[in-house]
């Protein structure tokens, strides 16, 4: 019985620790089509990231551009360079994530 109680206590601690980690999560999706890169950012509960800062970097970590998401969590821009593009969303208060579009995806979207 002692082992069962220890196992239950361990599972409780592990499962309880996952909640706060999700509190700072933000999702970012991006794709290239017709010479434009389309991005969409949202929180795990489905709410759009409004006025989130979007930063775009090339494969050398040179910042190519920055922008802000609209009320639907969208920020779109013309393809700045055919390269691996790292797109970062900063939704404030520790909510940050990135998405990398590979060079082949960017080239296909031109």
**Residue 35 backbone dihedrals phi, psi, to 5 degrees:** 80, 5
Cβ–Cβ under 8 Å, residues 56 and 65 = yes
1-41 pLDDT per residue, tens: 554 454 444 545 444 544 444 557 899 999 999 999 999 99
Q: Which stretches does DSSP call E strand in 1-110? A: 27-33, 36-42, 53-57, 63-68, 74-78, 85-92, 95-101
41-100 pLDDT per residue, tens: 999 999 999 999 999 999 999 999 999 999 999 999 999 999 999 999 999 888 899 999
**Three-class DSSP category at 107:** helix
Q: Which candidate, 44, 39, 53, places its Cα nearest to that of 93?
A: 53
Assigned CATH class of 24-108:
mainly beta
The full set of domain ranges for the chain reads 24-108
């Amino acid at each position: 019985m002692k082992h069962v109680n220890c196992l239950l206590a361990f599972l409780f601690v592990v499962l309880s620790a996952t909640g706060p980690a999700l509190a700072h999560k933000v999702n970012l999706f991006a794709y290239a089509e017709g010479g434009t890169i389309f991005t969409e950012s949202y929180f795990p509960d489905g709410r759009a990231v409004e006025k989130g800062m979007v930063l775009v970097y090339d494969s050398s970590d040179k910042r190519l551009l920055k922008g802000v998401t609209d009320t639907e969590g969208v920020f779109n821009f013309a393809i700045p360079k055919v390269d691996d593009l790292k797109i970062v969303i900063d939704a404030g208060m520790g909510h940050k994530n990135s998405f990398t579009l590979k060079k082949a995806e960017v080239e296909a979207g031109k």
